[in-house]
Structure formats: C-alpha cells, structure tokens
Structure 1
Amino acid sequence: MPHYTSYDGVELSYQVLEGSEGAGPPLVCLAGGPGRDAAYLGDLGGLDAHRTLIVPDSRGTGASPPSPEPWGYAFPALAEDLESLRTHLGLETFALLAHDAACATAQAYAAQHGDRLTRLVLVTPGSRLQGELPDDAEEIFESRATEDWWTDAYVAVHTLPTAGDMDEVRSLLLRAAPMGYGRWDGPQRAHAATEPGQLGPVPRAGFWQGVDDPARHALLSRLPEVGCPVLVITGDRDALAGMRAGELVAASFRTAAVRTLHGVGHYPWVDEPDLFRPVVEQFLKRGYDPEARGAV
C-alpha cells in the first residue's frame, strides 16, 4: 500500500483503485464515520471504471498510524493531510469526493485550498459545520415504522447516548444500521456488517474538535469564494443525515447544485449504484448547473 509524508512528518497510507479499463482521471475520495476505515467506500458503485480512485486512510484508520497529537484527528487538520497528499501525488488540481462526516473535512479543504479543486462532490453530508441540525432525518425514520427492523433500531438509537463503552456502541450501531439504507436487503446487510470492526474510537472522538469555535465562522465565510462546481447528493430515505442538511451545506457555496436520489439512504452507492454512479460521472464531466437542484 502506498504512503505519503504529511505536514508533521507522519507517514499515512492511501489506496489506488483502477477499473478494468485502466487508469482514468484521479478522484480523491474521503471516508466519513467519522473515524471509519475507508474500506467501506469500496469502489463507490463502480466509479473506478472511468476514474482512478485515490482513497486515503485518515489518521488512526486502515493502515495509517495514530496521530501523535490529539488535534491531528480534527477535521481541519485532516484537510491539511489532504493537501500533503495532493503535493505527494504531484496534482496541480484535482476532483474531490467526500462522504458523511468527511464532507466537513472537504469543506475545510475547500476553504483553505479551493483553488486546487476542479470539482467537489459531497455525498449525504450532515450540517453540523453549518451549526444547524434539521429534524427531517427523524421524520424519515418515523415514516418507516412499518418495516420489520424498525422497533429494534428505535431502541438502539435511543440507547446510544447512554452506551457504556465502544463495544456497546458498536453493537447498537449495528442494530440501528437499517435506518441508513434505502432498503434492508442482502447488499445492505453485508455492507452494514462491516461497520463495527471499522470504527476507530479515538479518531471518532477527536474528529469534531473545534467545530463550535469562532474559527468555524471564518471557515464558513470563505466557502462562497470557492469557484469550482459543487454537487451535494442526498437520499430521500436517509434517516441518518436527512435531506435538509445537504441543502444547508449547498447554500454555503455559490456554485452548488443538489441532487436528491429516490429510494436511497445514507450510502447511495450501496442502495442504487446504477443511479448514483451516472450522476457523479456526469457532474465530473460537465460541472455545475445552477438550475438543476431537483431529484432523480
């Protein structure tokens, strides 16, 4: 597995995924969680067919070592790891995709190094960085109360705040996992089963350091200056992040479009890869359409 040296001398790992058609233009892909092994991204529904996916392991996940300092896990610091990776790869500019919590890392990177981005794709983001927590995810969850898994997931979700240790957290997250998917079939079950073993408690705990500091407002104030096209993807069955959070994130940019995918939860490439992949590929080729903020 290749490595690169980050800003503080730490050697961090990354993967390179290429499809059967060979190397395509690079797309750097950031995993969320926070603090989850990037293996859960897989090939993002086959995006590697026409793109070379560069997937870094953030500090303390995958093959990357822990951070020597606690602040190294915070999302603004992870953005500087990304800049070190760009330098290592020799990319003057590049396209970036981020999922879940990593969308905060991507926004921090865009605020500091926006001139390096050609395209930015934010997949099912939350809006904690924007300082708002919409309640439509809960509404989506409640709307699915007739599904077989719902009662146990409900109990697990409401037990999580009082969980005693990480083992209990992992168990509860697995019980609550169906709410993150558009349906609870074989591919979704298999994908969800990997989560407990992929979560790093220390990176997870350190990720949101500083999100409530005044510096957050300075970061947000720079996002309207980002000039590259931005695509925010949401799912209408995402009971983890909902859809309104993505709209809030998109509103932070002047060049953002929103795509809401039907029948899709928090992991669109698992639920509907043949829907997710073309949306991303078309955006990477054509960019931003200011009139296209609807659903597909």
Structure 2
Amino acid sequence: MEPHAAHTSRYVSYDAAELAYRVLEARTTDAPGASGPPIVCLAGGPGRDAAYLGDLGGLDARHTLVVPDSRGTGDSPPAADPRGYAFPALAEDVEALRDHLGLDRFALLAHDAGCATAQAYAALYPHRVSHLVLVAPGSRLQGELPTDAEEIFESRATEDWWVDAYVAVHSLADTHDFTEARALLRRAAPMGYARWDAPQQAHAASEDGQLHPVPRIAFWQGVDEPARLALLDHLRSATFPLLIVTGDRDAITGVRAGELVAASFPAASRTEVRTLYGVGHYPWVDEPEMFRPVVEDFLAR
C-alpha cells in the first residue's frame, strides 16, 4: 500500500502553546468507518517523534488518522515548564486537540509509552473516548513490571544480532550521556522487532534522530503515588470498549503488561487482549496485514 502525504496543522493548548499535528485522510471515503470520527494516534518513546508511527500499517485506508507531535518532538515546541512533558499534562494537550477538532467523542490509539498518556486521558475524560486501542503498552502506571519481556529476549539468543544487543541493553543503565544512550539504543534496536529484515532495519534507522532527551526524562516525573492511584481509580469506572494489542516476540514490553493494563478497566463494555504471533513491539512494521484488520474490526464493532 503506497503512503500518501499528510498535512500538518497547529492547535492552541491549555497554556497557549501552539502544538503541531498531522492528518492522514482516509483513502477510501465510502468504506465503513471512514466517514466517522478520526483516530487520534499517540506516539511513545517516550519523547519520540510521531513520524515513526507512519500510517500504522495502512490503517489510514479506512480511517482518518490524527497524529499529534507531543511537546518537544516533531514540529511542536519545547514545553515552557518541564512539568508539561509529564504524561498527565500531555493528556491535557490531547483534550485541547479534541476541542480544536470539534469532536464530541473519538477513538484513541496509543503505542508504547503513549499508552500512559492515553490512560491518563481516559481517566480524566472517559466520556470523550468512543474506543481505546493500546498497542504494546507497558505497565509502569499499574505499578508492576513483569519479567516476560526479558524472558522473550533471552529466548532469542540464537539470533545473529543478540550478543551485541545484550551488551548494549546492559550498558544503558550505566550511561548518563544521551549521545551514548542513543548509540546503545541503536545496537539494541533488533529486540523490538520479530525479525531483523530490511523493513525492520529501515524503521529502526529513524529512531536515532527522533528521540529527545528532556521530554523522555520528564515523561514520568512529577506524578506522585496519590496521583497515580487516582488515575487508576478513575479507570475502574470507564465503560468504553478497550483493545490491547501485544506481540509474542516483543522483548521490550512483552505480553503480560498488556494483561495487567486490561485488568485496570473492569467496567469496560468490551475488552479484547490480542496477542499477535510472530510480532514484536511494532506490529504494524512486522505484520501490517495482521495488525490492521484487528484494529479495524474492533473499531467497526
């Protein structure tokens, strides 16, 4: 499926900051769902340019995608206050975007760390969410860090890239230089994919210039334990349908974290936890023809 150009626009957030977002118009305007509310798509990292989401494996074939650049990434300016990078504050940027777009309710999709922002938004504004899709979420917000991602990583020790990635991963904890950290992340990149073929290598190559240190570091800061527990308490009463997508070869967040996140939404009208096989942390890169129909089917119902 050939990519098509996205147009960039700006909106004014709660503190008068002008933030950027891109719109990928639905390709097939007569397809089911194409004329409905767009999908707002949040990038992870944290602090990574949203460009890595691409068109999410062709999800724009039937849905208009709205992809915001969070503060300090892409075409959005840095936050005036570092607290603006924390994920609950980024959720307020999402609300400002919703108001700018004139949407009453909308589908919200997030990947990786962006899932924390999406959950914060869902906790604060549940009446605005028609569907919530969380792709490869971690469970730091839930206060638990399962070990199955490490087990998946260890199970891939026979792959050619593994030894170098292992050294890089275990060196990250000891580095405080972001340039060095970028180089280590580049070496560890294969662990995020189900295989290390040309499409995966091309996708990983973009990460180097897409990570921003301050937004990355500040994403989890300033959120104390009472605030975290309050967000989780709000999620318990959320009733919109929830889809969580994980990959059985995801050595970054694993599978179990998605199950823990799903348990935070006991009142959801429908909960689907889909583990895709032969898929890593970026399912739209590894298996777009598997990933896209799962999301489309969920939104159509």
TM-score range, shorter-chain basis?
Answer: over 0.9
Unaligned 5+ runs, structure 1:
287-296
Q: Does 1:265 align with 2:277?
A: no
Distance 2:25 2:128 in 1: 23
Percent of paired sites with the same residue: 72
TM-score of the pair, normalised by structure 2? 0.93
Counterpart position of 1:191: 203
- Give runs of aligned pairs for residues 117-128 of structure 1, distance below 5 A: 117-128=129-140
- C-alpha displacement of 1:196: 1.0
Distance 2:170 2:46 in 1: 20
- For residue 9 of structure 1, the aligned residue among 11, 16, 37 is 16
Change (3 A) 1:235 1:72: same
SS of residue paired to 1:127: coil
Amino acid at match of 1:71: R
Amino acid at match of 1:226: A
Are the equivalent residues in 1 in contact too, given 2:122–2:238 (CA < 8 A)? yes
Distance 2:236 2:142 in 1: 13
Are the equivalent residues in 1 in contact too, given 2:83–2:222 (CA < 8 A)? no
Counterpart position of 1:174: 186
Distance 2:175 2:43 in 1: 24
Counterpart position of 1:158: 170
SS of residue paired to 2:110: strand
Cα deviation, 1:174-217, whole Å, max 9, x if unaligned, reads 10000000111000000001001000101001100134421100
Are the equivalent residues in 1 in contact too, given 2:11–2:19 (CA < 8 A)? yes
Q: Does 1:102 align with 2:114?
A: yes
SS of residue paired to 1:217: helix
- C-alpha displacement of 1:246: 0.4
Cα deviation, 1:32-66, whole Å, max 9, x if unaligned, reads 00000000000000000000000000000000000
Distance 1:85 1:225 in 2: 24
Q: Does 1:284 align with 2:299?
A: yes
Counterpart position of 1:200: 212
- Give runs of aligned pairs for residues 1-296 of structure 1, distance below 5 A: 1-22=8-29, 24-25=35-36, 26-254=38-266, 255=268, 256-286=271-301
Distance 2:198 2:82 in 1: 38
Taking only aligned residues, the RMSD between alpha carbons, in angstroms, comes to: 0.9
SS of residue paired to 2:172: helix
Amino acid at match of 2:17: V
SS of residue paired to 2:275: strand
Counterpart position of 1:294: none
Are the equivalent residues in 2 in contact too, given 1:129–1:211 (CA < 8 A)? no
- The aligned length equals 286
Distance 1:211 1:188 in 2: 34
Are the equivalent residues in 2 in contact too, given 1:210–1:216 (CA < 8 A)? no
TM-score of the pair, normalised by structure 1? 0.95
Unaligned 5+ runs, structure 2:
1-7
Amino acid at match of 1:156: A
- C-alpha displacement of 1:163: 1.5
Amino acid at match of 1:217: L
Are the equivalent residues in 1 in contact too, given 2:111–2:135 (CA < 8 A)? yes
